[in-house]
Amino acid sequence: MNKLIIIAASFLLTTSCKTPEVPKSEPKEATTTIQEIKEKDHTTFVSNQRPKNVIFLIGDGMGLTQITAGSIAKKTPLVLEKFRQIGLVKTYSTKLITDSAAGATAMATGSKTYNGAISMDIHQNKLKTIVEYAEEANWLTGIVTTATVTHATPACFYGHQPTRSRVNQKLAAEFMTKNIEVLMGGGWNYFKKGLDGRDLIAEAQEKGYFVTDDIEQVGDYRPEKMICLISPKLPPRIKERGNYLPLAAKKAIDILSYPKSNFFLMIEGAQIDWGGHQNQSDYIVEEMLDFDRTIQEAFDFAEKDGNTLVLVTADHETGGYSINGGSAKDGKVEGKFTSDYHTATMVPIFAYGPGAESFTGIMENTEIFYKLKYLMNIDSLKPASD
Ligand SMILES: [Zn+2]
């Protein structure tokens, strides 16, 4: 019966719209399990609406409890409560419990891989990322994070390294080979004291980037390309970094939307995960509320624009977090943790805008890539990386 429905669905898709072709030669690294996922991906598209722009927000370590904690603390509805298309995502990598590198690789490239891989497959071949596809199709692109810009999640959207550790300078150098318009996060030192003694800050300026270390000083100025590196290495907590993330999101949207071409923007709330690792409810709540203000910037733009898909999801849950007490009236959360690492629990995905209904139901994290690639109409581009 299920098979019949799938056949009928693919028939409908082939007759009613341009169906993405199943790749003729499958990548040699694919295992049976991964292969099945890929074929399923191509039969689960339900939307023919294609967005002009995509804003993809990743709350690192943001499980359902983290979201609940944010909503209790805020006392008024989270922006996420305006999203009507909601699904659940299976986050496992080649291990049951993923890390952020394999999690981001799955969403950025459509392939499950080993923990620690920066957009490399299980045989350490490069996997082409959604940002690389987008660039090839002349979309403007941007990456914004509250980690270093060379941290696992943002790096998986532009870089390719067999391991995530001790490759900050290599990733910064890789970034320089791309044509990504906006990059914001921490990691000034990895550019200033770059690979082989290079000064990538100077190189970026030569390539036409406006480079700064302070988002607030940018004000209304709208450069065509911008790199903002707010800290030498890892960015600090809110107390020190202030309103950086919502401001960075707003500026990135401002820069990318101005020329009226298509744009793809990835924004990461990285430190929700760090609160989970430290088993600190207060840290999680603080980061959730910051992320909520950031989602607001994306939502407000999308609502006005009417042609932008906003996706909000997580790479995994962190902490095995639960809420065992507190007060809704006082906005107080009493959290408990079962782990100081990630867990295998599914994470929610929220979608708004054209194509949003494609993200309902239960899906593999790899499906997000295939759905995006289809919705962005870049399915005909070749999967081979440079
Ligand atoms: Zn983590």
153 is in an annotated binding site: yes
49 C-alpha to ligand 1 centroid (Å): 34
319 C-alpha to ligand 1 centroid (Å): 9
The CATH architecture to which 54-375 belongs is 3-Layer(aba) Sandwich (3.40)
Instruction: Give me the catalytic one of 71, 100, 111, 231.
Output: 100
Give how far the C-alpha of residue 325 lies from the chain's centroid of Cα atoms, to the nearest Å. 31
315 is in an annotated binding site: yes
Answer yes or no: 339 catalytic.
no
CA distance 140 to 202: 22
- Closest by CA position to 161, among listed 118, 104, 107: 118
Query: Does 75 have pLDDT greater than 70?
Result: yes
Q: Which has the minimum average pLDDT: 20-34, 141-155, 331-345?
A: 20-34
347 C-alpha to ligand 1 centroid (Å): 14
Query: Does 19 have pLDDT greater than 60?
Result: no
The secondary structure of the chain in percent helix, strand, coil, rounded to multiples of 5, reads 40, 20, 40
19 is in an annotated binding site: no
The more confidently predicted of residues 228 and 19 is 228
Query: Does 385 have pLDDT greater than 70?
Result: no
Model confidence at 8, pLDDT cuts 50, 70, 90, reads: very low
Contact 182, 176 (CB under 8 A): no
Residues with Cβ within 8 Å of 43's Cβ and at least 6 positions away in sequence, in order, are: 6, 9, 10, 13
Query: Does 49 have pLDDT greater than 90?
Result: no
pTM of the model: 0.89
> Which pLDDT belongs to residue 272?
98
> What average pLDDT does the segment 38-51 reach?
64
10 C-alpha to ligand 1 centroid (Å): 38
Question: Tokens 């305006």 map to which residue?
Answer: 82
pLDDT, one tens digit per residue, over 249-292 is: 999 999 999 999 999 999 999 999 999 999 999 999 999 999 99
Average model confidence (pLDDT) for the chain?
90
Question: Tokens 């009226």 map to which residue?
Answer: 260
3-state secondary structure of 145: strand
pLDDT, one tens digit per residue, over 301-320 is: 999 999 999 999 999 999 99
166 C-alpha to ligand 1 centroid (Å): 16
268 is in an annotated binding site: yes
Model confidence at 208, pLDDT cuts 50, 70, 90, reads: very high
Contact 274, 283 (CB under 8 A): yes
Q: What angle is formed at CA 17 by the lines to CA 14 and CA 22, rounded to 5 degrees?
A: 50
313 is in an annotated binding site: no
Which pair of tokens denotes residue 127?
């996997």
